[in-house]
């Protein structure tokens, strides 16, 4: 008769015994989430400063539509050249976008990374957060464009000069940047940066052969 498998055999180094490796990992992620979300909320102004720099470059193809991108805390303000009304001196349209709506995947990625406890976890964390910045910027800009091209009213939308197909593309980009990217992209980035961990996890959770 074959000897029974040693409990915890094949588990990642340093992992406690008694539960499946996957269950332990999920528990660690859950415990890390409140910490990473609290840190993310506190440092969000710094993160949004980086997003503001990237957004300032990304809106250049739209010509003089955006005069400047400003920041208040985690909120970005797109100051445009569009007029809110026909009257002289009516000012210009300014659109505010809350960057927290598009960056909540960052603390999710951080919780997954810290729970995995890889030797280079801080390096992987920095790489992952940097990789997520362009996607956060995409969501923020899509929100801004949706406001000026669709929801700001016909007067402002006509000044923006977007065609009907372009407005359809903006609406799709907004939905994609709001519903898909904030959750899916961090998971994809984590999988790409933790392939070795996932291989070890798969080996540890594989049913031993009889």
Measured CA to CA, the distance from residue 176 to residue 124 in angstroms comes to 26
pLDDT band, residue 171 (cuts 50/70/90): very high
For the segment 85-112, the average pLDDT, to the nearest whole number, is 86
**First CA to last CA across the chain, in angstroms?**
10
**pLDDT at res. 51:** 97
Given a cut of 70, is residue 88 above it in pLDDT? no
Bridge partners of 80, per DSSP, are 66
Q: Give mean pLDDT, residues 178-200.
A: 94
**By C-alpha distance, which of 89, 124, 112, 121 is closest to 36?**
112
pLDDT digits (tens, 9 = 90+) for 48-62: 999 999 999 999 998
Res 18: pLDDT: 54
Residues 151-170 have a mean pLDDT of: 88
Domain chopping of the chain, boundaries: 21-205
Long-range pairs for 158-163 at CB < 8 Å and ≥24 separation? Answer: 159/82, 159/83, 160/65, 160/82
Spell out the alpha helix ranges (H) of the chain.
Answer: 21-58, 100-103, 105-116, 121-146, 154-160, 164-175, 181-193, 195-205
Task: Report whether pLDDT(63) > 90.
Answer: no
> Which one, of 102, 112, 108, 97, lies nearest residue 179 by Cα?
102
Of the pLDDT bands very low, low, confident and very high (cuts 50, 70, 90), residue 90 is: low
Evaluate if residue 14 carries a pLDDT over 70: no
Measured between alpha carbons, how far is 63 from 67 in angstroms, rounded to an integer?
9
pLDDT at site 178: 93
Higher pLDDT, 168 or 7: 168
In angstroms, the CA 176 to CA 184 distance is: 10
Cα–Cα distance for residue pair 35/107, rounded to 1 Å: 9
To the nearest whole number, what is the mean pLDDT of the chain? Answer: 87
The rounded distance, in Å, linking the Cα atoms of 49 and 67 is 17
Is residue 12 scored above 60 in pLDDT? Answer: no
Least Cα distance to 95 among 49, 137, 51, 147 occurs for 147
């Amino acid at each position: 008769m074959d000897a029974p498998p040693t409990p915890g055999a094949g588990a990642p180094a340093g992992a406690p015994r008694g539960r499946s490796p996957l269950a332990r990992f999920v528990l660690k992620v859950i415990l890390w989430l409140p910490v990473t979300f609290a840190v993310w909320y506190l440092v969000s102004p710094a993160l949004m400063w980086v997003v503001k720099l990237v957004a300032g470059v990304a809106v250049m193809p739209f010509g003089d539509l955006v005069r400047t991108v400003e920041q208040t805390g985690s909120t970005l303000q797109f100051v445009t050249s569009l007029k809110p009304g026909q009257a002289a001196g009516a000012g210009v349209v300014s659109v505010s976008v809350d960057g927290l709506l598009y960056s909540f995947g960052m603390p999710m990625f951080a919780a997954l990374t810290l729970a995995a406890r890889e030797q280079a976890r801080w390096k992987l964390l920095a790489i992952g957060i940097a990789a997520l910045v362009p996607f956060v910027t995409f969501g923020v800009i899509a929100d801004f464009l949706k406001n000026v091209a669709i929801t700001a009213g016909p007067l402002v939308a006509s000044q923006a000069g977007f065609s009907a197909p372009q407005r359809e593309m903006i609406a799709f980009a907004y939905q994609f940047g709001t519903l898909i990217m904030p959750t899916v992209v961090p998971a994809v980035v984590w999988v790409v940066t933790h392939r070795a961990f996932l291989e070890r996890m798969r080996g540890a959770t594989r049913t031993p052969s009889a």
